[in-house]
A = this chain, B = another copy of it.
């Protein structure tokens, strides 16, 4: 096992990793940063190893970290030890986790999705909030979905905030990005029920005739789904809205619906 020790902030690797906090650099490099042993362990379980593993000096020893370091070394990854204050600057956090990793982004084409692999899929259209996107991934994990399909101009799923909010699900859930006019023909090529919450010609969300593979779609945080997207759905459902606001957070609406679908399919 080889391990480099870096002590200076001007080191090119340190500068490179730090630059990934910037969206422009992240996009250009197709690399992103994930922090924390929990997240990195989930990544490894999902078959993803960091290209660069950063470990703070003075960290506590942990068997999972030792295994991770070995695994990264074994595939020729870069293992770096550095002072905690430099790691703090790299990650932009005052109290950084003791370990972080740089991962290569992966292919998120629709052809990565095997719809037969799960009874339930989540779909988000033009979702702009990285916390919501990460939360959707986490919900997908919890309901046993196959993953999350991002339509149109969604926020970057590899952003620091989205990765953090996903609590590791970014590494274990299927993830695809597509335009609506790619997605709909793809969906119609095989079995698949497209479902959305809607007020147009909709049935109550409880007891609706959900069928696997079921694709639960939520729309943009402020505008909701475009009308033609709703009309293309196989099933439109309403959820009770008893208050003044007549709306739910998009990730919350998706989760309530997904749990209802799960109960029906398992019922």
Q: Taking the complex as formed, is A90 at the interface, i.e. its CB lies under 8 A from any CB of chain B? A: no
Q: Taking the complex as formed, is A138 at the interface, i.e. its CB lies under 8 A from any CB of chain B? A: yes
Q: Taking the complex as formed, is A168 at the interface, i.e. its CB lies under 8 A from any CB of chain B? A: yes
Q: Complex: how many Å from CA A249 to CA B258? A: 14
Contacts of A131 in B (CB 8 A): 131
Do A245 and B143 have beta carbons less than 8 Å apart?
no
Do B206 and A249 have beta carbons less than 8 Å apart?
no
Do A42 and B256 have beta carbons less than 8 Å apart?
no
Copies of this protein chain in the complex: 2
Contacts of A42 in B (CB 8 A): 244-245
Select which of B143, B168, B242 is within 8 A of A244 by beta carbon.
B168
Q: Complex: how many Å from CA A239 to CA B139? A: 12
Given the known interface contacts A131-B131, A256-B259, the answer about A172 and B244 at a Cβ–Cβ threshold of 8 Å is yes
Q: Which residues of A contact B (CB under 8 A)?
A: 42, 45-46, 131, 135, 138-144, 165, 167-169, 172-173, 206, 239-249, 251-252, 255-256, 259, 262-263, 266
New contact pairs (18) apart from A45-B244, A206-B263, CB-CB < 8 Å: A42-B244, A131-B131, A138-B245, A138-B247, A138-B252, A139-B248, A140-B243, A141-B244, A142-B242, A143-B240, A143-B243, A144-B243, A172-B244, A172-B245, A239-B259, A240-B262, A242-B262, A249-B255
